[in-house]
Structure 1
Amino acid sequence: MPSVSQTTFEHTLADFFRVRLQDEAAGLEPRPQEDTLWYIGNLLARFGDSGQVFSYDRGELDIRPLALLYRDALEVDSHHHRCLLLRQLGDLALFLGALFPENYARRGIGRDYFIGMGGGAYDYLGENARHNRSVFSELSRRFDRLLELVALVCGRGQVLDAGDILQLYQRWRESGDPQVAAQLRGLGVVLSGGELH
């Protein structure tokens, strides 16, 4: 059960992302449904907690590969559990594909992989989920555009100069903030474990 401070953090972060999503989505034609923007805002806030992104697999903390999540969804007997796994797959594909594409590109995994995995997962949910079918359908149909929207909202489209990166690095050294560390890694900065504080 999340603590009160965790719940407040996610609520505040969700509000931040929703406002950014609404502002940036105003220029899209057609504009995404309001429910879809709310869903994405909540998704981004949820993934603000690294415990929602990472999981233990064979004794190591890592991000479960999307292909393995897909396999798990195919093999599970319960319709309810299949929908949960596919939602996790779609959400992770949207999040990782928007925020960390260069990390995967170095391993030969391109944008089409995220679009196929995430769009396919949301397509199934659009037809089979108990709730939010219209949201999942839109996420499936417009996955590529929504991937760009999430990247824009999360600042992936902004160009940082060396001074900006240095300031971000200094902020991370002083605070040890995992979100700042993730942003630095997304910029290609390698951080060693002994550099905290």
Structure 2
Amino acid sequence: MVDKLALDGSLEAFFFDQVGEAQARAGANLPREVEAYVVHLLAAFVHRPDAVGRRSGPLALQYLAARAEAGSARAQALRSLGDRALFIAGVVPHSLDRSPVNVRYVRSLGASAYREVSDGRGALAVFHTLADRFADAAEVISEATDARGEADRDLLGLYDRWRRHGEARDARRLRAAGVVLDRPGTDTLQ
């Protein structure tokens, strides 16, 4: 990872390659503007790891505070919330395993925030597309930031998360590891 980054010279170039490869692995095809936004988001969060940590407060309270703002402050606060939710859903969804919220809730808040920023056309149309493709973008981010399958090493944890949340990403990773899955709600593991 570091060698490739040193050759390309920028975080954006590195993440552009990673996101392109991740789309192929995830079977997703993000629109160009969403792909560019995701690349920029990942590069920006490298320099701001504290923006998504546990000390940054609950997303629901951030959402309420953002909606209470007016004008451009409101748009910026909603965008910030959408970015944070997208990062959490894509990079650290497992951090929600022991919290009262799940990744679907985080995706829902993020998509809602992006939808409120967008007017559906012009320069802000990317946020409308991000809202519609939030789950796909989060999955691509997950693939781009976990290319070596670090999250898949704990198969029992991955299986448990799939049983609780039924995420397609977890099911795909379990199948790739050779786990035969029955439909959710059954207890047969082969």
TM-score above 0.5: yes
Q: Render the CA deviation track for 1:137-185: whole Å, top value 9, x for unaligned.
A: 11101111111110010017714759xxxxxxxxxxxxxxxxxxxxxxx
Distance 1:24 1:31 in 2: 10
Query: Does the CA-based 8 Å contact 2:26-2:140 persist in structure 1?
Result: no
Q: Render the CA deviation track for 1:42-95: whole Å, top value 9, x for unaligned.
A: 11111101366169xxxxx9223211211111211x210000000000000000
- Where does residue 144 of structure 1 map in the other structure? 135
User: RMSD over aligned Cα, in angstroms?
Assistant: 2.9
Distance 2:147 2:88 in 1: 12
- TM-score computed with the length of structure 2 as normaliser: 0.66
- Please state how far the C-alpha of 1:128 moved relative to its aligned partner: 7.1
User: What amino acid does structure 2 have at the position aligned with 1:69?
Assistant: Q
Segments of structure 2 that go 5 or more residues without pairing to the other structure are 1-8, 155-190
User: What amino acid does structure 1 have at the position aligned with 2:82?
Assistant: G
- Where does residue 33 of structure 2 map in the other structure? 35
Distance 1:86 1:156 in 2: 30
- Where does residue 175 of structure 1 map in the other structure? none
Distance 1:68 1:156 in 2: 33
- Where does residue 18 of structure 1 map in the other structure? 16
Distance 2:99 2:27 in 1: 33
The answer to which structure, 1 or 2, has the higher relative contact order (CA under 8 A, 6+ apart) is 2
- Where does residue 82 of structure 1 map in the other structure? 74
Query: Does the CA-based 8 Å contact 2:26-2:139 persist in structure 1?
Result: no
Query: Does the CA-based 8 Å contact 2:115-2:127 persist in structure 1?
Result: yes
Query: Does the CA-based 8 Å contact 2:38-2:137 persist in structure 1?
Result: no
Query: Does the CA-based 8 Å contact 2:26-2:143 persist in structure 1?
Result: no
Query: Does the CA-based 8 Å contact 2:19-2:140 persist in structure 1?
Result: yes
- Please state how far the C-alpha of 1:41 moved relative to its aligned partner: 0.7
SS of alignment partner, residue 109 of structure 1: coil
Distance 1:84 1:123 in 2: 13
- Where does residue 165 of structure 2 map in the other structure? none
- Please state how far the C-alpha of 1:13 moved relative to its aligned partner: 1.2
1:155 is matched with which residue: 127, 146, 150? 146
- Please state how far the C-alpha of 1:132 moved relative to its aligned partner: 3.4
1:70 is matched with which residue: 63, 66, 69? 63
Query: Does the CA-based 8 Å contact 1:46-1:52 persist in structure 2?
Result: no
Distance 1:22 1:113 in 2: 27
Q: How many residues in Structure 1 have an aligned counterpart in Structure 2?
A: 146
Distance 1:54 1:107 in 2: 15
- Where does residue 46 of structure 2 map in the other structure? 48
- TM-score computed with the length of structure 1 as normaliser: 0.64
Query: Does the CA-based 8 Å contact 1:119-1:141 persist in structure 2?
Result: yes
